[in-house]
Structure 1
Amino acid sequence: MRLQDNINFQRIEEAIGYIRANFKKQPGLDEVAEHVHLSPYHFQRMFSEWAGVSPKKFLQHISTSYAKKLLKDNKATLSEASHEIGLSGTSRLHDLFINIEGMTPAEYKYGGKNLNISYSFADSLFGEIIVASTSKGICYLAFSENKAHSLNELKNQFPNAEFDQHLDMFQQNALFIFTHDWSKLSEIKLHLKGTDFQLKVWETLIKIPEGSLTNYGQIAHSINKPNASRAVGTAIGNNPVAYLIPCHRVIQSNGNIGEYHWGSNRKTAMIGWEAVRSN
C-alpha cells in the first residue's frame, strides 16, 4: 500500500475522532473537512475512495444507534448466527479459514525459547502494522505507531525467542485479508501463546461474522461462563493478533463502542468499514 494511502487513513481516523467527540452537535461535511485541513470537496473524495461510500453514509454505519440495533437483533448464539450467515459474500466467517494452534507448555512457560520468529512491517487500510510468525503460523499482529516501540513490544511477548526481519508466506497470506476476497484465501494459521481460557475466548471471537457485533456478556454465555464477563474482557484485551482475531467487534452492552488496544477511533473505523462491505 502506498504511503499516501496510510496518510489518508490517518486523516480519516482524525475525522472520525472529531465526529465522535462532537456527535451531539452533528458536525457537517464542511466542519469536519476544516478540522482535518482539507477542502470539503477533497475530503469527500478521499473518504469515498477509502470507504467506498460517502462520509454521511459511512457515519450512519458507525453510529451508536447502528450498534444498538445489531445487538438487539442478535438473539441467536454466536455459533447459530455464524451458521445462518454461512458463506454469503463478504460475510465469510473467520473460523472457516483461520485455525488456532496453542503453543506448547514449554514455549508458553519459557517465553518462546527455541522459537525462531520472523517479523515485518506493512501498510494496511487502518494504518501501519507489524506482523510476526513462527514456523507454525502467525503469532503476533499489531498496529504500529512507532517501529522501534512496536518491535520492542513483540520481543516482550517472547523474551527468549530469536528474531529476524523477514516476510514469509504466513505473513503474506494474513496481510491479504485487508484487500482480497476471503473466498480466495488459503487457511490462515495462528500459533498463539495463551491460557486455555484465553484461547477459548479468542476462538469464539473468530466466529463473529464480519459486519456483526456482540458484547462481553454474550461472549461469556457462548463459552458457558455467564458470570465471567470481566475475565472475558481481560482475555479480549490481551488478544495478540489484531483484526484476524476480531476483538474490535466486541462493544459494550449499552451500544457504546468502548475502548480498543489500538485506539477507539481505529476500532470505529474498522466497524464502519466492515458494515459497509457487508451490505
Structure 2
Amino acid sequence: MTQAQTQRRDGPHDPSQSYHYGVIARAIELIDASEAPLGLEALASEMGMSVAHFQRVFSNWAGVSPKRYQQYLTLGHAKTLLRERFTTLEAAHSTGLSGTGRLHDLFVRWEAMSPGEYAAGGAGLEIFWGWFETPFGAAVVMGTDKGICGLSLAAETGEEAAMAELLARWPAATFTEDPMRLRPWVLTAFGMEGTLDRAPLYLIGAPFQIKVWEALLALPEGAVTTYGAIAQAIGNPRAVRAVGTAVGRNPIGYLIPCHRVLRKSGELGGYHWGLPMKRAMLGYEAARTDAL
C-alpha cells in the first residue's frame, strides 16, 4: 500500500462531523488548561467564534450546553460514574442483559477469529478499508465479509499513523480499499443512519483478549467499569494488568468501548488516543444517556 493510498478519499461521510468534533476538541483543551470553569462567552471568544455560533456547534455535537458538558469532563464526574453507573459485569453476564444504550445494542452480534487464524497474522484474509467521518473526526475503518474488524481515529495521531497502526496488526492479510462495502455498517455503528438493525463486529485477537473485549461489549452505554471488575468477570481476578494490556490492544476502539474503563480511584487512566478523546467520548455518551 503506497503512502498516497493512506490519504482520505472523498467517500461516504458527513464533513460536519469532523468539523464539530474539531471545535469540541479545541474547547476541551481550553477547559483542561483552565483552573476554573469557563463561561460561554469566554470559550466562544477563545475559539474565535460568536457566542451563538459556538453554542450551536457545541450543542449539535454534544447534545447539551458547554456549561453542562464541562461537568462531564471533571474527575468528580468520573467518580460519580463509578458510584452511580458502575457495572460489575457479572450481573450483566448472568442475566443476559446487553444494556439499554443504542450503541451497545447494535453490537450484540459478533464472532471471533479462531486462535490459529489469529496466529497466522491474517494470512488468507481479505480486509476491506475506507475513510469515514465520525462524531470523533476522521477514522479509517476496516472489515472482513463477517464484520468490522478495525477502527483507528486520526484526530490525534494523523491519518498516516492511524492507517499504519491497523495494517501492522494483520501483516499477512490482503487489504482492499472499498468504503462503499463498509458504509452501511459504519453509519449504523455510529448512529448516523439506521441503515441496518445491527453492525456486526469480527474480533481478531488472542483468546484472552477476546474474553476481555466480550466483557467490554456487555457494558451499557453511559456505564463504566474498572480493570479489576473485568478481571473478575472473565474468571481471572488476579489478571488486572493483563486485562489492561488487552483493553489497550482493542482494535475497534469506541465500538468495543474501552473508554468506559476507569481506574478504581475514579481517575480516567490511559487511553490510546489520549485523555481528551476519552473525556470527549464519556461526555458524549453521558449527555445522551441523561437526555433519555
Q: Does TM, scored on the shorter chain, surpass 0.5?
A: yes
More displaced, 30-39 or 121-130?
30-39
Work out whether 1:259 is the aligned partner of 2:270: yes
Q: How does 1:138-153 map to 2 (within 5 A)?
A: 138-145=148-155, 146-153=158-165
Q: Which has the higher helix share?
A: 1
Q: Deviations over 1:173-211 (max 9, x none)?
A: 2332222588x8433322222111100000000011001
Residue 17 of structure 1: how far off its partner (Å): 2.3
Residue 218 of structure 1: how far off its partner (Å): 1.5
Q: Which residue of 1 aligns with 2:62?
A: 51
Work out whether 1:120 is the aligned partner of 2:145: no
Residue 136 of structure 1: how far off its partner (Å): 1.9
Q: Which residue of 2 aligns with 1:61?
A: 72
Q: Which residue of 2 aligns with 1:12?
A: 24
How many equivalent pairs are there?
275
> What secondary structure does 1:160 align onto?
coil
Q: Which residue of 2 aligns with 1:244?
A: 255
Work out whether 1:36 is the aligned partner of 2:40: no
1:41 partner letter: A
Work out whether 1:107 is the aligned partner of 2:117: yes
Distance 2:171 2:23 in 1: 35
Distance 2:53 2:43 in 1: 12
Return 5+ residue gaps in structure 2 as ranges: 1-12
State whether residues 170 and 189 of structure 1, in contact with CA within 8 Å, keep that contact through their aligned partners in structure 2: no
Residue 56 of structure 1: how far off its partner (Å): 0.8
> What secondary structure does 1:128 align onto?
strand
State whether residues 148 and 185 of structure 2, in contact with CA within 8 Å, keep that contact through their aligned partners in structure 1: no
Return 5+ residue gaps in structure 1 as ranges: none
State whether residues 149 and 203 of structure 2, in contact with CA within 8 Å, keep that contact through their aligned partners in structure 1: yes
State whether residues 71 and 213 of structure 1, in contact with CA within 8 Å, keep that contact through their aligned partners in structure 2: yes
Work out whether 1:195 is the aligned partner of 2:206: yes
Residue 230 of structure 1: how far off its partner (Å): 1.1
The sequence identity of aligned pairs, in percent, is 41
Residue 78 of structure 1: how far off its partner (Å): 1.7
> What secondary structure does 1:202 align onto?
helix
State whether residues 127 and 144 of structure 2, in contact with CA within 8 Å, keep that contact through their aligned partners in structure 1: yes
